[in-house]
Structure 1
Amino acid sequence: MKIAILGTGGGARAHIAKLAELGHEVHVGTRDPEATLARTEPDLMGTGPFKDFLAEHPGIQLHTFADAAAHGELVINGIDGHNAVAALSAAAEQLAGKTLIDYAVPYVYNPDIAHPWPTPWGVMPTLDPCDSDSLAEQIQRALPATRVVKAFVTQEQDTVVAPRAVGGGDHTMFLAGEDADAKQQTVDLLTAYGWRDILDLGPLVAARGMEMYAHLHSAIGFALGFGTHFGIKVIR
């Protein structure tokens, strides 16, 4: 299958490498391919230059967001939450009729708030939207012809693509969306990644809870030790 990954950060790279390993044709989208390839310094998360990653993964093709979306039969959104709606809206024509799996978190970095939450990298970002809306719903409203599924967001992406690395894979992945076929495509991909416990939370409004879980995920990670990989299991 031709799969487009929108984004070039660490999470996107986990999917790129795994999908290529599984034999898919992978197309990667970035805002400005020339600028992306010209970078020589790590990003804010310490992820190395994308050109070095490409050199280690021959056959991966880099495009603009719109061109990558045009090539993909299935699209995965790894664009940062603050810019996702605008960037995806600019590729609305190329995304029409396709399944878009969104794992972005609507973080607002360096918030000026009364009671900040200190973390190992600075103040914990706030979420916007929150409670009464979600980034996934905003994307769906902006792209009514695209079938949006929220998934992957409750886990680190390198664990999403290798669930058996934690607890032998005995933990739960969540998804939400309005289109049954799009959700089945997402389940099929997760199954290929190795997930055995996939819980459909229902309509896309459930993305609100999935995105807000990001703070609890961080708190658990701090308690276990920063960088520790873990999973959440729903016992029923």
Structure 2
Amino acid sequence: MKIAVLGTGAGARCHTARLTELGHHVIVGTRNPEATLARTEPDMMGTPPYRDFHAAHPGIELHTFSEAADAAELVISGIDGAHAVQALSALPRQALAGKTLVDYAVPYVYQQPDQVERPWPTPWGVMPRLDPVDTDSLAEQIQRALPETKVVKAFVTQEQETVTHPEEFAGGDHTMLVAGDDADAKAAAGELLRAYGWRDIVDLGPLAAARGMEMYAHLHTAIGLALGTRFGVKIVR
């Protein structure tokens, strides 16, 4: 299958590498390919420049967001939550119309420490707040902006290293959550997850459930900080 991965951050690289291993034709999208390859410094999370990853995976195509989405059958959005709606809305209508788009971004709003009334300190700085929250979600905002696209929220309740390699914990016997308004789109996301190795996939129903999935990010971070490591979550029923 031709799959577009929009974004070049650490999470997007996990999907790009894993999908390539599984035999898919992966097309990576970025705002400006030349600028992306020209960067020589790590990003804000300390991820090495994309040029290093690209050199290690020379067969992977790098194009603009529009070119990558237009060429793909299924799209995975790794665009950060603060810019996802704007970036996806700017694409030509036909690039995403009728396609499944799996969104895994958390709608973080990063602030300076002196802008936070009651800061939550973490090893990498103040924990960002979420916006939207409670009565809306990033996934729903994307769906409203792209009414002809079938948006699925998935992958967001785990780090992307674990999403693409679930066997790291309990041989893969832990739980992944999905939500969306289109049954076929959720089935496509489920097929991808099973190819990654997931055996327990829980459908939370309509895309409104993405609100809870996105808000879970803070609890997931708190657990990770307490354990000092990545982990898996199993829903027992």
Whether the TM-score (by the shorter chain) exceeds 0.5 is yes
The CA deviation at 1:145 is 0.1
Percent same amino acid at aligned positions?
Answer: 72
Q: Determine the C-alpha separation between the residues in 2 that align with 1:189 and 1:8.
A: 20
Give per-residue Cα distances to partners, 1:149-196, cap 9 Å, x unaligned.
Answer: 000000000100000111211110000000000000000000000000
**2:99 maps to 1:98:** yes
How much has 1:94 moved relative to structure 2? 0.3
Secondary structure (helix, strand or coil) at the match of 1:220 reads helix
Query: Structure 1 residue runs of 4+, over 6 Å off?
Result: none
Unpaired stretches in structure 1, ≥5 consecutive residues: none
Structure 1 segment 147-226 matched on structure 2, within 5 A: 147-225=150-228
Q: What SS is found at the alignment partner of 1:81? A: coil
Aligned residue type for 1:28 = V
Q: Conserved in 2, the CA contact under 8 Å of 1:166 and 1:229?
A: no
CA RMSD of aligned residues (A): 0.7
Find the residue that maps to 2:27 and give its secondary structure: strand
Q: Which range moves more in the overlay, 58-67 or 147-156?
A: 58-67
Distance 2:32 2:204 in 1: 35
Q: How many residues align?
A: 234
| SS of residue in 2 equivalent to 1:153 | coil
Question: TM-score, normalising length from structure 2?
Answer: 0.97
Between the aligned partners of 2:166 and 2:138, the Cα distance in structure 1 is 25
Aligned residue runs from structure 1 range 2-21, under 5 A: 2-21=2-21
Pairwise mapping of residues 36-55 of structure 1 onto structure 2 (< 5 A)?
36-55=36-55
- Where does structure 2 lack aligned partners over 5 or more consecutive residues? none
For the residues of structure 2 that align with 1:81 and 1:229, how far apart are their CA atoms? 22
Q: Secondary structure at the match of 2:13?
A: helix
Letter in 2 for 1:102: D
Instruction: Confirm or deny that 1:110 pairs with 2:111.
Output: yes
Q: TM-score, normalised by structure 1?
A: 0.98
The code of the aligned residue for 2:233 comes to: I
Residues in 1 aligned to 2:215 and 2:80: alpha-carbon distance in whole angstroms: 15
The answer for the alignment partner of 1:139 in structure 2 is 142
Task: Using the TM superposition, give the Cα deviation of residue 51 of structure 1 relative to its aligned residue in structure 2, in angstroms.
Answer: 1.2
Deviations 1:185-210 (CA, angstroms, capped at 9, x unpaired)? 00000000000000000000000000
Q: Aligned equivalents of 1:109 and 1:93: distance in 2? A: 32
State the Cα distance separating 1:93 from its structure 2 match.
2.7
**Structure 1 residue matching 2:194: 3-state secondary structure:** helix
What is the deviation of 1:113?
A: 2.7
With 58-67 and 1-10 compared, the bigger mean Cα shift is at 58-67
Distance 1:113 1:47 in 2: 26
Matched residue of 1:114: which SS? Answer: coil
SS of 1:82's equivalent in the other structure is coil
Matched, 1:27 2:30: no
